[in-house]
């Protein structure tokens, strides 16, 4: 199997893995000889991009991989401008809020403000299927139908028992988003958690970003959902205005 960028393939595979990976597993998945793979791993460990266990039998992404992400976020104007807007929104709602960006078939979190009463793991840099997430749907509802169709045609995996995976239902969810002005899903991406999101629409530019708020379904009453929807829509509009200023 030919690789144009085997080192990047290796880093991306480790970054996407939910747990440490052995050399044998990496060799099989990347189609790379173990001897060559061990040499590349040694180089990456020395630079801090990859971490090895004490025996050198398994590997995980290293703290050095944070350097390019930190540089990207520091240079990204949208993420910088979103910081005070997300802070105000989180304080107003008492919930965790995010800024996400569409990247291919996934969304990636660029900025977040966590609720004090939600013990959640770090989310910046995390990725989720765009078509399954409220924030992804908010963005895709503003994008070309050919792009949406390509994502659906590639296959939609159920994340929970409540996940919508059928083509007709997914298009209906996007149509509902266009009609409401925001996307709303209940437990489709993460069991027991609902999410409401609004796209950041800047005149003349393709929509790539959205503001979202995730709320445990136990406290996502109809009244609270209305407040959350109004809040994320206002925050998305505020961010769009800031980008135009």
pLDDT of the residue at 74: 74
Lowest-confidence range among 14-18, 125-129, 168-172, 184-188? 14-18
Same domain, 104 and 57: no
Q: Taking all residues of the chain, what is their mean pLDDT, rounded to a whole number?
A: 90
Q: Band the pLDDT of 1: cuts 50, 70, 90.
A: very low
Residue 1 lies in a domain: no
Residues 108 and 199 occupy one common structural domain? yes
Mean pLDDT computed over 58-65 = 89
Quote the number of domains for the chain.
Answer: 2
Residue-wise pLDDT for 66-118, tens only, equals: 777 777 777 889 999 999 999 999 999 999 999 999 999 999 999 999 887 76
Task: Indicate the pTM of the whole model.
Answer: 0.78
50 and 147 inside one domain? no
Based on the fold, state whether residues 115 and 216 are members of the same structural domain.
yes
Expressed as residue numbers, the domain containing 28 is 6-66
Examine residue 197 and state whether it is found in any structural domain, yes or no.
Answer: yes
Question: For residues 92, 99, 208 and 215, what is the CA-based torsion angle, rounded to 10 degrees?
Answer: -70
Mean pLDDT of 174-179: 96
Percent of the chain surpassing pLDDT 90: 72
DSSP class of residue 63 equals G
Asked if residue 104 and residue 134 are part of one domain, the reply reads yes
Which residues, other chains included, contact 100 with Cβ-Cβ below 8 Å and sequence gap of 6+?
107, 108, 109, 110, 133, 135, 136, 139, 197, 209, 210, 212
Q: How far apart are CA 231 and CA 195, in angstroms?
A: 13
* CATH code at position 158: 3.30.450.40
Residue 71 lies in a domain: no
- Specify the DSSP element, H or E, that contains 149: helix 145-153
Q: Is 153 a domain residue?
A: yes
Q: Are residues 61 and 83 in the same domain?
A: no
**Could you give the 3-state DSSP secondary structure of residue 19?**
coil
CA distance 21 to 162: 31
CB within 8 A of 154, min separation 6: which ones?
Answer: 105
User: Is there a domain that residue 39 lies in?
Assistant: yes
Q: What is the mean pLDDT of residues 158-174?
A: 93
Residue 56 domain flag:
yes
Q: Does 121 have pLDDT greater than 70? A: no
**Are residues 38 and 152 both part of a single domain?**
no
pLDDT at residue 233 greater than cutoff 80: yes
Give 105's DSSP letter: T
- Structure tokens given for 28: 């099989």
pLDDT above 70: percentage of residues in the chain: 96
- 126-155 mean pLDDT: 93
Residue 192 has pLDDT above 50, yes or no: yes
Together in a domain, 51 and 100: no
- As a whole number of angstroms, the distance between CA 121 and CA 101 comes to 19
Residues 49 and 141 in one domain: no
């Amino acid at each position: 199997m030919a690789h144009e960028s085997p080192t990047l393939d290796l880093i991306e595979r480790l970054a996407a893995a939910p747990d440490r990976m052995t050399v044998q597993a990496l060799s099989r998945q990347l189609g790379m000889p173990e001897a060559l793979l061990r040499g590349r791993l040694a180089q990456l460990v020395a630079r801090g991009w990859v971490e090895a266990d004490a025996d050198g039998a398994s590997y995980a992404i290293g703290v050095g991989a944070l350097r390019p992400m930190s540089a990207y976020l520091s240079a990204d104007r949208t993420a910088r401008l979103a910081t005070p807007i997300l802070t105000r929104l989180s304080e107003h709602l008492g919930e965790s809020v995010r800024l996400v960006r569409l990247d291919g078939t996934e969304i990636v979190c660029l900025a977040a403000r966590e609720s004090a009463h939600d013990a959640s793991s770090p989310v910046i840099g995390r990725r989720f299927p765009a078509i399954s997430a409220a924030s992804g749907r908010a963005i895709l509802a503003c994008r070309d139908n050919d792009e949406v169709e390509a994502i659906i045609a590639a296959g939609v995996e159920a994340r929970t028992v409540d996940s919508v995976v059928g083509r007709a239902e997914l298009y209906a969810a996007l149509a509902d988003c266009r009609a409401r002005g925001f996307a709303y899903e209940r437990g489709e991406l993460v069991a027991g958690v609902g999410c409401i999101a609004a796209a950041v629409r800047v005149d003349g530019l393709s929509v790539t970003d959205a503001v979202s708020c995730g709320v445990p379904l136990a406290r996502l009453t109809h009244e609270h959902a209305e407040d959350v929807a109004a809040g994320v829509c206002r925050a998305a509009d505020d961010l769009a205005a800031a980008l135009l200023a």
